[in-house]
Structure 1
């Protein structure tokens, strides 16, 4: 009988490979970033962890042997979902891996904007000693967390350490431990006028695409800060730029954009009330460890027993 094949398109530590081998000792396990390592095995792979453009054309053929794909990112909107669904491929995401680094980034952006750190860094570069109108505090303010999943929950937890009031928005509106009030997605416009900070932690779906436009920015306080670490396409970028230029909102911290890399001609680079980061909010020294040990290995144990992966199984209807 031919060996089954599992491919991991990332460089793993030997200890992680050994843990996987313990679960599938009779399988062919191929791991590495270099496509030359695994390209010859793609057509035979039943399990693949980590999407690379080089594998797309092979695993989407009608006779693919792929049955389970583990995404290396929390969002799966960039995958050919319709094709994968039609072939009965199960997908699991890396949701939860990013809770710590992204919640840290959210607060780094919020604090930098509030305490004018970005302004002082620019002043330092020109050896300029200037107060720059510093006055705001983050303590006891209100944050609206739009999308209370793993990242949103950790963000809410941190917010309580600052004595903040936490308003959460999720599709179901069900209660959350660190949220003072929870709202459904249809109540978004009721939440925005209450917030001093609005943090977008949503996945990109048909429902969330261009969810934030001119109407939503007009509803926000002119003293409020807007943070987006979800997906750029959730926001109508030109409407955001107009709101920032016209003083409809106080500023923004942005890690994601409609088109990436952000074009050099974008006004967002030059706006004094904007901090731009290059889609790195989820980057962490523990990324591979969390994907493999917290998600992939527990799911692999289920898979070899003939069960569905239990952690982060993507619902094709919802798109996440």
Structure 2
């Protein structure tokens, strides 16, 4: 029998749903380091991707045909090898739309309404009614760079707050709740319009360090830069310089080139920077949403049909 190996634990109910769809497959779950190497080599379908023993899955005798990751980002995977071996790759893109869009709005409100300063003052028992740097989201312009499912959800929330939304995506195709959409060729042109510039880009050869000195120089001095995409799409030194030299006003950062962010990094001590530890996509509903993507793809896979959800295009790396 063909084998499904999952590095994600499934409940009995979930395993039954898998078995009902794919009765000719056996299901094995467990951590990669605890599984016998032969189990990994015999896997036709893999759910997740291991930090340990990845070589077993790429062994010459490996039977691997499809990897369903448990993450949206796939930049850490050996995509060239997958493509050479005709291994399908699907991710969990889209399930982060609700938590990350809510996080983006939370970051914006924290900075515009001085909630970060209020939290520090509360911890110190300080009554500070200063209105310095207090602002509103209403009437401001948000530039979303990388308008996928997260960007669409964010645009909808921003519109509800009375904001104007400009979107940047590879195709330039229009999206609901985005008043103006441009292609990546116009990336720097629209940065000049953003009161809030939100980066939701995946990491590819084209997007690495896309946010560099030139990009930050193009932004308004009053702009807030928000990164919930991939850390390496931003040149951290350039961002730090832009903040220190007041080329931009503030930043809210959930992802970094180096994680964890070193405790002595200057970003930690900046009053105009809000830092969260790569938790923007965290939600108690992550597993059930990811599982439904896998189930939908599995139904197509056993029928030898094109996988309908989140099939990675190796030419784009996402």
Range into which the TM-score falls when normalised by the shorter chain: over 0.9
Match of 1:252 in 2: 251
Match of 1:209 in 2: 208
Match of 2:262 in 1: 263
Q: Does 1:162 align with 2:161?
A: yes
- Please report the TM-score for the alignment, with normalisation by the length of structure 2: 0.97
Matches within 5 A, 1:30-109: 30-33=28-31, 35-36=33-34, 40-109=38-107
2:23 equivalent among 22, 25, 30 = 25
Maintained 8 Å contact 2:32/2:50:
no
Match of 1:243 in 2: 242
Match of 2:125 in 1: 127
Maintained 8 Å contact 1:4/1:46:
yes
Question: For 1:45 and 1:152, how far apart are their aligned partners in 2?
Answer: 35
Maintained 8 Å contact 1:139/1:162:
yes
Query: For this pair of structures, how many residues does the alignment match?
Result: 317
In structure 2, the CA distance between the partners of 1:310 and 1:74, relative to structure 1 (3 Å rule), is: same
Match of 1:287 in 2: 286
Give the match's secondary structure for 2:44: strand
Aligned-pair CA distance for 1:37: 5.0
Aligned-pair CA distance for 1:38: 6.5
Deviations 1:286-308 (A, max 9, x none): 11111111x11111011111123
Aligned-pair CA distance for 1:16: 1.7
Match of 2:116 in 1: 118
Matches within 5 A, 1:165-204: 165-204=164-203
Maintained 8 Å contact 2:37/2:56:
no
Match of 1:7 in 2: 5
Question: For 1:260 and 1:8, how far apart are their aligned partners in 2?
Answer: 26
Question: For 2:226 and 2:98, how far apart are their aligned partners in 1?
Answer: 16
Question: For 2:72 and 2:119, how far apart are their aligned partners in 1?
Answer: 32
Give the match's secondary structure for 2:71: coil
Maintained 8 Å contact 1:302/1:309:
yes
Aligned-pair CA distance for 1:265: 2.1
Maintained 8 Å contact 1:12/1:32:
no
Q: Which runs of 5 or more residues in structure 1 are unaligned? A: none
Question: For 2:284 and 2:31, how far apart are their aligned partners in 1?
Answer: 17
Give the match's secondary structure for 1:45: coil
Aligned-pair CA distance for 1:311: 1.0
Give the match's secondary structure for 2:60: coil
Aligned-pair CA distance for 1:20: 0.9
Cα RMSD of the aligned pairs, angstroms, is: 1.3
Q: Which runs of 5 or more residues in structure 2 are unaligned? A: none
Deviations 1:8-48 (A, max 9, x none): 11122332222111111221101244742575511110000
Match of 1:152 in 2: 151
Maintained 8 Å contact 2:90/2:312:
yes
Question: For 2:35 and 2:77, how far apart are their aligned partners in 1?
Answer: 22
Aligned-pair CA distance for 1:53: 1.4
Maintained 8 Å contact 1:12/1:288:
no
Give the match's secondary structure for 2:171: coil
